Structure 1
Amino acid sequence: MKKDIDMIESLINRNEYFYKIGKIQKNEYLINNFFLIDKLEDILSRSQREKIIEFLTDEFSLPKFNLSISILKAVPN
């Protein structure tokens, strides 16, 4: 997943570079950005699904959950 995110970040940077030097027009720049954002959302969504599955199958999920809630309650806002 990290490798995929790094690749998309690199493509976003290249898209920005080519737009700044005038090799691509604003319309193509925006289309590329929306496409890359969509791919990034897919990767993150997949990651979230994996974490939910891990959470549901982890026998220590309830204690971890309770600990997280306790920590959040203890930390002043």
Structure 2
Amino acid sequence: MNVAEYLQIVRTVHARTTDWRLGQTYFNVLTEARPELAEKVRGSIVDPFHQDARIGDFLVFVSDNWDEVAA
């Protein structure tokens, strides 16, 4: 899976999951797709789970680190 495929899955899941905010969706899908990368994000200043305002920084971090962390 690449970043573009991840983003497509986020869009699909978010459209179907009305009880998750967008930041929760980004994080939850990342946890399933790339758990090792999600662990780098968890609790950091780019973690969007509780604050949607962090989504932009989260996306930059994920894009920059997608290939750095072993899949």
Do the structures match in fold with TM over 0.5? no
Between structure 1 and structure 2, the one with the greater Rg is: 1
TM-score (norm. length: structure 2):
0.32
TM-score (norm. length: structure 1):
0.30
